[in-house]
Amino acid sequence: MRLSAADALNRGLANLAANWELVLVNWLGGLLLTLLVVAGLLPVFLVLGLDLFRQAFSHMGRSEDAAQVWAELLGRWSGPSPALLLAGLGTLAVWTFASILFCYLQAGTYGVLAAGDRQAPPRVPRDRHFFRTFSLRDFFGWGGLYFGRFLRFYALYFIAVFFLALLALAWIGLAVYGAARWGGGAAFGFGCGGALPLAFLVLLLAAWLYVAQADLTREDSGALAAARRALEVIGRRLGAVILLFVLFFVALIGLGLLFGLLSIAVNLGMQDQPIARTAVGFALSFLQSIPQIFLNVALAAALVALVRSEPTRSGAAA
């Protein structure tokens, strides 16, 4: 039974309310991933010298001192030493583990959401407990089952991002060439003419990422199958997908404005207390990440409901 955008959103929110632990798990997983990304940089920083990095950033506002410090820092990069190569390998290993952990978390999250949507009655049941499927055992089980699919799909996704980045570089190069060859008017024309299709491709890539992940937990799905089906669903239900994303971004912007105002108030009220101001700033960032994770998982749950309501090719043929 096909769902409207409103029904998909209500069904997704009921699914998330029944499996609210997904927000906590993703929040803790996000903190761990952030620590791993930062820890991956430490070997390189230790080899190059943490003192030099600290001086470079502390002299950021003074161009004469900063230029000298950054020149010394860049000089350490020339002629890589064995220690620097080993540090780079250590960074690559830590970041590879972080990527694997991220795919595992995504697989477990979407696995629980799909299981909840699958077992609940059609439309939006009055009792949200129809969606209740969460347990740590099931979360890790879905993560192990679908991990390979998510890993392969993200490899495919980054290939698409790479080609989109090449397209953006070609667009910038064309604008620069037009400015050098025909003047500022040509650069303006190339820039405006390419900005709209490029922005559309960026938005399409973001929608494709979320919709494809919602399909990866289907029994006969896979990286390529989910990629194709995501394009089919976006083509058939473009309005519903756009509406869900617009609601998500509006809520995200509102959240950012709220915490931005709180941060400004804290900075104004604690000008003479730098340590307390920094601590409160970290606490606000810490708190802001919780509703951000909630919105992200809510969008995923709504898209799971929408994608699962769409017939597959085999189902349509039958």
| 3-class SS letters over 136-148 | HHHHHHHHHHHHH
Check residue 87 and give its pLDDT: 79
Closest of 206, 26, 208, 21 to residue 116, by C-alpha: 21
pLDDT, residue 83, reads 72
The DSSP string of 36-71 is: HHHHHHHHHHHHH-HHHHHHHHHTTT-HHHHHHHHH
pLDDT at position 279, please? 80
Q: How does residue 175 score in pLDDT terms, banded at 50, 70 and 90?
A: confident
Are residues 171 and 198 in contact, defined by beta-carbon separation less than 8 angstroms?
yes
Q: Can you give the pLDDT at residue 55?
A: 56
Q: Which of 8-12, 127-131, 267-271, 281-285 has the lowest mean pLDDT?
A: 267-271
Q: Is the predicted pLDDT of residue 316 greater than 50, yes or no?
A: no
Q: Which band of pLDDT confidence, cut at 50, 70 and 90, is reported for residue 65? A: low
Tell me how crowded residue 78 is: count the other CB atoms within 10 A of its CB. Answer: 6
Per-residue pLDDT, averaged over 145-167, amounts to 93
Lowest mean pLDDT segment, chosen from 60-74, 194-208, 234-248, 289-303: 60-74
Task: Using CA atoms of 41, 139, 256, 13 in order, give the dihedral in degrees to the nearest 10.
Answer: 170
pLDDT at position 103: 95
Q: What is the pLDDT of residue 78?
A: 55
Q: How much of the chain exceeds pLDDT 90, in percent?
A: 48
**Distance, CA of 55 to CA of 66 (rounded, Å):** 8
For the ranges 67-76, 125-134, 235-244, 272-281, the maximum mean pLDDT occurs at: 235-244
More confident residue, 141 or 55: 141
Residue 56 has pLDDT above 80, yes or no: no
Q: Determine the average pLDDT of the residues in 197-224.
A: 91
DSSP tag of 123: S
Rg (CA), the chain: 24
Q: Going by C-beta distance under 8 Å and a sequence separation of 6 or more, which residues neighbour residue 57?
A: none
Q: Between these two residues, 60 and 98, which has the higher pLDDT value?
A: 98
Query: Which segment of 48-52, 197-201, 259-263, 307-311 scores lowest on mean pLDDT?
Result: 48-52
Rounded to an integer, what distance in angstroms lies between the CA atom of residue 252 and that of residue 297? 13
Please give the structure tokens belonging to residue 6: 């409103």
Residue 17 pLDDT > 50, yes or no?
Answer: yes
Compute the C-alpha angle 276/46/85, nearest 5°.
145
Lowest model confidence (mean pLDDT) among 10-24, 97-111, 256-270: 256-270
The pTM of the full predicted model, rounded to 2 decimals, is 0.83
Output the average pLDDT for the chain.
Answer: 84
Q: What is the pLDDT of residue 287?
A: 87
Please, which pLDDT band fits residue 280 given cuts at 50, 70 and 90? Answer: confident
Whether residue 122 contacts residue 1, with contact meaning beta carbons closer than 8 Å, is answered with: yes
Cα–Cα distances in angstroms (integers) from residue 58 to residues 52, 62, 104, 178, 272, in the given order: 10, 9, 38, 39, 20
Q: Which of 164, 230, 173, 240 minimizes the C-alpha distance to 200? A: 164
Distance (Å, rounded) from C-alpha 140 to C-alpha 119? 19
Q: For the ranges 115-119, 245-249, 258-262, 277-281, which has the lowest average pLDDT?
A: 277-281
